[in-house]
Amino acid sequence: MTPDSVASDLLPVRRVLPNGLRLGYIQLPVGSQAAALVRVHAGAHDTPSEYPGLAHFLEHLLFLGSQAYAATDSLMPFVQGRGGQLNASTRERHTDFFFQVATETFGEGLRRLLDMLARPLLDEAAQLREREVLQAEFLARGRDRETLCDAAIGTALSAAHPFAAFHAGNRDTLPVEAAAFQQALKGYHQRFYHTGQMELLVAAPCSIEQLLELLQCSECQLPVAPAVARPLAPLRADDGAVLHLEVDGARPCLNLAFALDGLPDQACVALDVLGAWLASQASGSLSAVLRETCWCDALALRVPYWHDGQGVVVIEAQLTEQGMADRAEVVAAVRSWLQFMTLQAPWAELWDEYVQIRQRGLLGKEPLALLRYWIDPAAWAPSIATDRVRQALQALGTQITEAKPIVLTVDGVGGNQCASIASTQTGFALRLAPERWPVAGDRAWQWRLAARNRWLSAHARPRVAPVAVPALCWLEHDDDSRGQGALYLRWQFATDRPPAGLWHALHAALQVHIVAAVQAGVELRFDDLGSSWSLMLFGYAEALPLVLQDLLDVLKAPPIEAFDNGQRLLGEATAPGANELLIRQLLRRLPMLVEPAAVEDHAVPDQPALERVWQGAPWDALAVGLPAHLSGPLQDVLAAMPGRSELPVERQTGHPLRYQWSRFGNPGVETALVLFCPLPVRSAAVEAAWRQLARLMEGSFFRRLRSELQLGYAVFCGFRQLGERSGIIFAVQSPSASAAEILGHMEVFLESFAASLETPSADLLQVLCAGESANGLSRDLRRRAEAVWQARLAGCDAEHPAAVAAAIATVDVVDVRLQLRSLRAAEGGWHVVANADAPDGRWQQR
């Protein structure tokens, strides 16, 4: 498939059904998964002002059962039990609900989705429990840098606008016990959850006639009503502002925010154009210039609010020490660049590369990602009026140029230098103060468009060649790969790990190329797996050898400044920060921690150290789905790869520690704990039983620890592979429980779940049977490639995933019960990482 054929294959067919529901449909090839997304055109800004958070609260409640499906058989446990994915999101003026599953179970999922939206139970006892979940989420958001930045920006608006109000919701704003609140909750649902305010998008390998027939069933019937007109308050920041915000653990950053209003319809697309060019880190880009001046490590465009031609647009710069001192110069440079890009840049070149980027990006998207792209008003489509986008970009530029921005500096200096503001307006305690802004120097910036991304247009010279590299496993993909391919490389380290800062140095050097690869339709990932490094390229197959070729010089000899960055980034990685949820930080560290303790080289990362690492590092590779004419170009690149080509050998790991505890960070307002239980034996039969066990436990664990015990809103379990080891993860972040209490709840859950397996319920047996297809060998290229690569990382051959899929069909309750006993006995070891010390002497703390 060529990128320019995306219009006919991946563009949704849209129609309005007789009941007023807007429908978009994409027919996918046989073998694809299926996805659905419902957008309700109402959100946080549409709730009664006396009940902040009501829209978000209702989003949570809808998952707790409906008239046709009890809570234990509702959409969430149904999708979780079948290996799918689902979520929901409440924004300012819309709320989205979405899921993706195997095609054979899609109809049952769609029935559950539409029934829960139309006929929720809204049980008051369940509301009381779920309110505690929102309270925990509110407490976490009160320490999140991005949330606090948006709240601080809201304080600088000139007129009352919902953006400046509190919408998160908490225990105080959701008086479940009050009759007036219940009336408001049901009134909001009745006002907005109907066909006039809803939009349904589906991507599935079936005909639209089959979909329309499914929508006729009773569970899929939605209330019918006309669209609701909603007023729009003016959005202004007439005088701008210069503010300083302190957030514990935050790294220095600068937010340059603009309040925009009265823009034409295509302004959201124009903003997407601007964002695509802002993301570029190529020569001549804004990122490259600010990096060369040692002011900034990274740039991003955020749009925390956008609706009907008005919005808040934020340029966020991660500052260096020098950039912190020269913030006025940074602001002047960014504003100068914005003026150039919106009012002076050559439109034809700007638009042409943007269209190429969007075409490439669409080719590799999964069904759900496709729907989330097309539901956005900023989505590019082949039919879009180019001239109108250009005019909208100029209107955007005029407002940005003439406006007084809100300039917000954020850091984690501490010491309460800023006064704390606990206002009803923001709902969060802000350590915020006005700041005196220095005058910027009179520097004349000479901007130009960033260098073109050659991966969008260049092609590897095709050549079919026999696979002659022993360390390369080449797998053809039988099904329609839609032009996609996957390529994996691994460098193994036997006894001595490389200097810790080296991986960070290479990762920093690759950042420039990660953005360019994404824009060319290729996902680039470079992972530290503890005893090995892994490079992954997935996406537009024709570009993969080209991208890998251009990465060779970076891998062999990164820029000298990358080594300094590596040391700094290593320090940041080993200390928790406010930029990311704590539990995600723990999960990211786990792969290094579960590997056997090897001797770690503490040498300063530099070019000689990197060369020593490459000299002793054997590599192996996997290519999946690439057409035969790329076999020659790919092997040419691999021949120049650093390290030496060598078939992987099974690593002798020795007997694992049974109970291992790693501490990351210090006890704080919240406690996060992740327990990883690796497989005791890596055989197809054991892995199959553990995968089924994880699927059986996922919904029950979530329900027990999140809904019933109300430990927090970040609660999950599931089967995962961390580096070279697979197993089951249990994770909780809680504002109320200690690490010892969280671990205790996990162990009690495992005990009670083991008891439930002695006399399994019909629901549990149904999930076990459904898992046979959900866990089967996927025909999706990405899932198949990932399964084979994980098998190779674990020392298994390429046939291992097929063997697991076959074994899953034979797993019964007796097998699951036996493996749960093995898990509880820690036969494969238990590895905990938490922001607290081990609670007792059975743990060996690292």
Percent of the chain with pLDDT over 90: 73
Residue-wise DSSP of 216-277? TSGGG-----PPPP--------TT-EEEEEE-TTPPPEEEEEEEE-S--TTHHHHHHHHHHH
Q: Which amino acid is at 831?
A: H
306 assigned to some structural domain: yes
Q: Tell me the CA distances in angstroms from 438 to 299, 433, 456, 743, one per residue in order.
A: 22, 16, 42, 51
Q: Tell me the CA distances in angstroms from 364 to 368, 514, 663, one per residue in order.
A: 12, 16, 38
7 and 35 share a domain?
yes
User: Hey, what are 631's tokens?
Assistant: 């076999």
Final residue belonging to a domain, choices 403, 426, 454: 454
Q: Is the pLDDT of residue 636 over 60?
A: yes
231 assigned to some structural domain: no
Q: For the segment 449-485, what is each residue's pLDDT rounded down to a tens digit?
A: 999 999 999 988 999 999 998 899 999 866 566 789 9
Q: Is the pLDDT of residue 203 over 50?
A: yes
191 assigned to some structural domain: yes
d(CA 461, CA 464): 10
171 and 248 share a domain?
no
Q: What is the signed CA dihedral for 765, 769, 772, 774, rounded to 10 degrees?
A: -80
Residue found by looking up tokens 């940005």 in the block:
400
H or E element that contains 503: helix 500-519
198 and 248 share a domain?
no
26 and 103 share a domain?
yes
Q: Is the pLDDT of residue 539 over 90?
A: yes
62 and 144 share a domain?
yes
Q: For the segment 161-200, what is each residue's pLDDT rounded down to a tens digit?
A: 999 999 989 999 999 999 999 999 999 999 999 999 999 9
With bands split at pLDDT 50, 70 and 90, how would you rate the model's confidence at 266? very high
**Residue 680 CB contacts under 8 Å (≥ 6 apart), including other chains:** 686, 822, 827, 828
What global pTM score does this model have? 0.91
Higher pLDDT, 113 or 599: 113
Residue found by looking up tokens 């093995």 in the block:
822
Higher pLDDT, 219 or 794: 219
User: Hey, what are 49's tokens?
Assistant: 């002002």
Q: What are phi and psi of 276, to 5 degrees?
A: -65, -40
d(CA 362, CA 518): 11
H or E element that contains 186: helix 179-192
Q: For the segment 516-536, what is each residue's pLDDT rounded down to a tens digit?
A: 999 999 999 999 988 889 999
Task: Look at residue 713 in the predicted model and tell me its pLDDT.
Answer: 83
What value does the mean pLDDT take over residues 733-754? 95
What value does the mean pLDDT take over residues 264-292? 95
Any idea what the CATH number is for the domain that residue 518 is in? 3.30.830.10
Q: Is the pLDDT of residue 411 over 50?
A: yes
- The residues pairing with 540 across neighbouring beta strands, listed in sequence order, are 484
With bands split at pLDDT 50, 70 and 90, how would you rate the model's confidence at 415? very low
472 and 498 share a domain?
yes
580 and 590 share a domain?
yes
Q: Which amino acid is at 105?
A: T
Closest CA to 782 of 485, 348, 581: 485
233 assigned to some structural domain: no
Q: Is the pLDDT of residue 436 over 50?
A: yes
Task: Look at residue 577 in the predicted model and tell me its pLDDT.
Answer: 65
The average confidence (pLDDT) of the chain is 90
What value does the mean pLDDT take over residues 320-325? 92
230 assigned to some structural domain: no
227 assigned to some structural domain: no
Residues of the domain holding 32: 3-220
Task: Look at residue 42 in the predicted model and tell me its pLDDT.
Answer: 98
Question: What are the residue numbers of the active site?
Answer: 59
Q: What are phi and psi of 578, to 5 degrees?
A: -85, 0
Q: Is the pLDDT of residue 775 over 60?
A: no
211 and 278 share a domain?
no
339 and 382 share a domain?
yes
Final residue belonging to a domain, choices 220, 249, 268: 220
Q: For the segment 227-252, what is each residue's pLDDT rounded down to a tens digit?
A: 999 989 999 999 999 999 999 888 89
3-state helix, strand, coil split of the chain in percent (to 5) is: 45, 20, 35
| DSSP E strands, 419-514 | 420-422, 429-434, 472-475, 484-492, 496-497
Final residue belonging to a domain, choices 170, 185, 220: 220
601-605, 616-620, 796-800, 821-825: which has the highest mean pLDDT?
Answer: 821-825
Q: For the segment 583-634, what is each residue's pLDDT rounded down to a tens digit?
A: 888 888 888 777 655 555 566 788 998 998 998 899 999 999 999 999 999 9
Q: Is the pLDDT of residue 765 over 80?
A: no
481 and 425 share a domain?
no
Based on the structure, what is the number of domains in the chain?
A: 4
693 and 626 share a domain?
no
432 assigned to some structural domain: yes
Cβ burial of 424 (10 Å; 0-12, 13-18, 19+) is exposed
Q: What is the signed CA dihedral for 353, 354, 356, 362, rounded to 10 degrees?
A: 160
Closest CA to 719 of 83, 104, 86: 83
What value does the mean pLDDT take over residues 545-559? 95
H or E element that contains 676: strand 671-678
109 and 31 share a domain?
yes
Task: Look at residue 405 in the predicted model and tell me its pLDDT.
Answer: 95
Closest CA to 178 of 133, 139, 131, 116: 131
Q: For the segment 115-131, what is each residue's pLDDT rounded down to a tens digit?
A: 999 999 999 999 999 99
